[in-house]
Structure 1
Amino acid sequence: MTDQRVSRGSAGPGADVAEFGYTQAMRRGTRSFASFAVAFAFVSIATGIFTTYGAVLQSSGPAGIWTWPVAVVGQLMVALLFGSLAARIPVTGYSYQWVSRLANPVLGWIMGWISFTFLAIVVVAVDYTIASTVLPVLLNYTGTPGNAWWITAVVLAGQALLVAFSTRWTERVNNVAVTAELVGMLLLVVLLLVVGAIMRGLDFSNLVSTGSISHEGYFSFGSLLHVGPWMMGTLLGSFTIVGFESAANLAEETEQPARVVPRAMAQAVIASGVLGFAFLVAVTLLAGDPVALAQSATPIADVIARVLGPVVGTALLIMVVVAIFACGMVILMTGVRLVWAMSRDARFPGHALWSRISPRFGTPLAATGLVFVLGELLLAIFAFQTDALFALFSAATLLPSVIYAATVLLYIVKRRDLPPSKGFTLGRFEVPVIVLASIWLVFELLIFRDVVFLSSWVYVAIMVAIGAVYLGWLLARRGGTAGLAMPDMHSVDAELEADAAKAGAGV
């Protein structure tokens, strides 16, 4: 359904989806800050650090926080390459669209399916953080798998309602939440350091402490099935600094997407990296006994409450809850847009239903319901596992690593054949960015050889198997790969110039 309210003249370069074989189906209203807010909210340093800091204390000790800058630089290189692709093919569906059009539709479908499995699991991982690591301290109750389950289910339902019924209100809520997170996290860092200094509670030895982890072999790469302690700490940044590409998945709702989206992704990684590391340093300086803190299910919240007291600590923890809610909401919205994009091309199971845009709300209403129901099912599966949170965030770290690696490999192979950029280019920095991104992604993928990620690989294997069955059926039904051809990419400007030439020639 074409949205007649769209003003194509004001949408900016790269905004006309007709160039990619589509008609405008959703209203363009996402501007620069909203695009940045989407990318920043998905990354959500509050969510990632609250979720993984305790696990890093256990696997790597406090010194594990020094893996954060490595992850930030690596993910920034990936974001720059994604920005280069987004400036060339600014269409909803991001990696699914890029791989389908630049490689082939079968590989594109596989990439889309892997992206879908990532988004489905990560929204549950993020929402579970509220119930398992923040609310027990904020409301002073004992967290159990049972209450974590129903609280997460309610949070997921609230996010789905916003995404289903109003993109405008979803963005407004997210803009407010991101602003609060930026201001709140900065304030939190300052308060922790100032109060900690006044209390003489800053312990600089914690910054180089390995906690209960032996110094021997600390920086080793480990063995075939085990990862070294410091290398394992990289999960802190790997889990947190992901999702910046969500801005690209709203390309068809963004004004001037070829210019806005690449900048939004890079800015989100930089802002998250700098502010997140400052927060990690502040918390680690005030960790007290890191070995004892590692035993807590809510280490970050414990430090905040102990140092800042109940009043300030409570206010800042409320900010964290808002930030995590926004993070989950953006992830849900990103998953919905991917389902809609694949369904629009008749590539997703039940696509006839999921491709519909609600004439009343202007949103993919049915697709929202699908992602919500799947999230609740995954939550039920993981809810009563004793290591549920680790299993969730491990799977949610493995999948984007695979997506990023495959997309960067595509970029390397196809970079000389890419369509012209409409708003962002790496220029002479392209090769150094490719080299750094490749080194980082190989290093990151090597982490997942550790046996502790077995459940994550099992989840991936199950979802891939389901996808393989559907892909086989799709290929058989459509007579092979020719039946999965993407809508043609063509230059609208070239067509207009050709028409003008014909008219001038009197044709």
Structure 2
Amino acid sequence: MENRGKIQSCGTQPQGSEHDTLKRDVTPFQSFAVAFGFVSIATGIFTAYGAMLSTSGPVGIWTWPIVVVGQLMVAFILGSLAARIPVTGYVYQWASRITNPVFGWIMGWISFTFLAVVLCAVDYTIASTVLPVLFGYEGTANNAWLITSLVIIVQAGMIAFSTKFTQKFNAVAVTIQLVGMIGLIILLFTVGYINNELDFANLFSTGKVSAEGYYSFGGLTSVGPWIMGTLLGAFTIVGFESAANLAEETREPARVVPKAMWQAVLSLGIIGMLFLIAVTALLGDPTTLETSGTPTADVIARVLGPVLGNFLLVLVVISIFSCGLVILLSGTRLVWAMSRDERFPGWQQLHKISPTLKTPVNATIFVGLIGEVVLAIFSQDTDALFVLFSAATLLPAIIYAVSVLMYALKRKELPPSHGFTLGAWEGPVLIFAIAWLAFELALFRDASFAKPWFYVAVMFALGAVYLTYLLATRGAKGMKMPELIAIDSILDADRGADFSATPAE
């Protein structure tokens, strides 16, 4: 076989043990469902819409298309990486193979840090922005903490019990989200039109936000009001790369995973924009809801009435729960992949696959517990939701920027993909992706992001301690990735495999 590239990767059967491997049974739709479910416009909009109203006013929704285009360019680049290095652990594996294992470990730890905080941000949304309206009670920090912790426990139990069941549940939930969100948009426009409640002037209103300097880029430690609105889309349109974290469980990953990623971003971008227009046009007086903790749910309940409105809010809860489920699943797979390579704290237990359930039970319990710890740390913060979603926006921006730059520098050394290629568009896509990520990272100079930066700093410090321990006990050479085989060997094996031979667990 000809030499197809210099980059090497871990095989799909590392260490030769059936108890350390996963079933390859994820279908194309399930791969799309993972990417779609992680992004979840229902989650992102219900979480961050209120913050956007207070910082940017209703007209801030027009930052959404900018984010969608920028993240679509990123999805194309990450799809190209996923097609060439189709191994569980995504950015951890990519950085380890493209640069060196030490830097790969750092990126793996950053990804773990992101997944831990975004799990809390998403599940906290159920308790803080939907359930109070659905059941008519006053949301407090304590009851939001309790409900969110219970949600994490249920999600961890599902993932530990059965990957197959989890994937099927998520596929159903994504179908519900697709049908439910499209139906919700149609109903909002229809009922709003019949009742003469649609006010499209809201789409261009700054609300309580001053018009002076509204479109400015801001200063050294501040960001202009309109630009702050991009946080809504930047928090929502993330996690599409989670499909790559199940590469070793996906049939034909080089073809399926990249397609799932960009299709999720594009479809969610279009549906999300329509939903934002509907909700914003139905705000009524935009200044009255800017202080509400549940503005999106308030609009739905008011316009559609208690029965239909609550039914649709139940569908929203299912969508958000599914989003958290996918995040926890992705975190579990990352921890398992790093533990399989003997480089995550407690790897001796976390790399094991349950011989009965065929799932990484220990890794699942661990990620769930970390989520509970992060949740407890932020639970009494009066601005907990903003802190959580801000940190969950900052970290993926860092991950995406590093991944795109790695690809730009090393793409000519990568083996060719047998499933996805950008061809002549690769150069322009790279330029747009880098420009967008530089712009996004510049947002976090604003003083309001001090707490998210503190969380990042603390987690980085903890990672630095363990990395120092690894280097002291093993040395840089001891960090070499185990069981290296050529990427094209994985792809060749996939093309010739009979995926129907072994039933999935």
- Does the alignment pair 1:31 with 2:27? yes
Q: 1:131 to 1:494 in 2, by over 3 A?
A: closer
| Matched letter for residue 141 of structure 2 | P
| Matched letter for residue 413 of structure 1 | L
Identity, in percent, stands at 62
Larger mean Cα displacement after TM superposition, 483-492 or 302-311: 483-492
| Matched letter for residue 150 of structure 2 | V
Q: 1:270 to 1:117 in 2, by over 3 A?
A: same
1:128 Cα deviation from its structure 2 partner: 0.3
Question: What's the secondary structure of 1:87's corresponding residue?
Answer: helix
Separation in 2, partners of 1:389, 1:182 = 25
Partner of 1:481: 476
The question of whether the paired residues in 1 share the 8 Å contact of 2:54 and 2:290 is answered with yes
1:494 Cα deviation from its structure 2 partner: 11
With the length of structure 2 as denominator, give the TM-score of the two structures.
0.93
**Paired residue for 1:201, among 197, 200, 206?**
197
Partner of 1:221: 217
Partner of 1:435: 431
Partner of 2:6: none
Q: 1:125 to 1:418 in 2, by over 3 A?
A: same
- Does the alignment pair 1:415 with 2:408? no
Partner of 1:390: 386
Report 1:129-278 matches (<5 A): 129-278=125-274
Partner of 2:327: 331
Separation in 2, partners of 1:474, 1:191 = 56
Deviation digits for residues 221-243 of structure 1, max 9, x if unmatched?
A: 10000000011000000000000
Report 1:73-112 matches (<5 A): 73-112=69-108
The question of whether the paired residues in 1 share the 8 Å contact of 2:75 and 2:261 is answered with yes
| Matched letter for residue 208 of structure 2 | S
| Matched letter for residue 55 of structure 1 | A
**Paired residue for 2:337, among 330, 335, 341?**
341
1:422 Cα deviation from its structure 2 partner: 2.5
Partner of 1:281: 277
Separation in 1, partners of 2:259, 2:359 = 25
1:493 Cα deviation from its structure 2 partner: 5.0
What is the root-mean-square deviation of aligned Cα atoms in Å?
A: 1.6
Q: Which runs of 5+ in 1 are unaligned?
A: 1-15, 498-507
**Paired residue for 2:370, among 368, 371, 374?**
374
- Does the alignment pair 1:300 with 2:296? yes
Separation in 2, partners of 1:415, 1:320 = 40
The question of whether the paired residues in 1 share the 8 Å contact of 2:142 and 2:380 is answered with yes
1:252 Cα deviation from its structure 2 partner: 0.5
1:215 Cα deviation from its structure 2 partner: 1.2
| Matched letter for residue 480 of structure 2 | A
1:198 Cα deviation from its structure 2 partner: 0.7
The question of whether the paired residues in 2 share the 8 Å contact of 1:19 and 1:491 is answered with no
Separation in 1, partners of 2:315, 2:86 = 33
- Does the alignment pair 1:65 with 2:66? no
**Paired residue for 1:18, among 2, 7, 11?**
11
Separation in 1, partners of 2:390, 2:307 = 34
1:172 Cα deviation from its structure 2 partner: 1.0
Separation in 2, partners of 1:36, 1:127 = 21
With the length of structure 1 as denominator, give the TM-score of the two structures.
0.93
Q: 1:491 to 1:395 in 2, by over 3 A?
A: closer
Separation in 1, partners of 2:410, 2:344 = 26
The question of whether the paired residues in 2 share the 8 Å contact of 1:186 and 1:275 is answered with yes
Deviation digits for residues 372-426 of structure 1, max 9, x if unmatched?
A: 1111111111111100000100100000000000111101110111112121011
Question: What's the secondary structure of 2:353's corresponding residue?
Answer: coil
Question: What's the secondary structure of 2:182's corresponding residue?
Answer: helix
Separation in 2, partners of 1:380, 1:493 = 45
Separation in 2, partners of 1:404, 1:340 = 21
Q: Which runs of 5+ in 2 are unaligned?
A: 1-8, 494-505
Question: What's the secondary structure of 2:84's corresponding residue?
Answer: coil
Q: 1:234 to 1:363 in 2, by over 3 A?
A: same
| Matched letter for residue 418 of structure 2 | K
Question: What's the secondary structure of 1:288's corresponding residue?
Answer: coil
Partner of 1:56: 52
The question of whether the paired residues in 2 share the 8 Å contact of 1:17 and 1:252 is answered with no
Separation in 2, partners of 1:212, 1:63 = 11
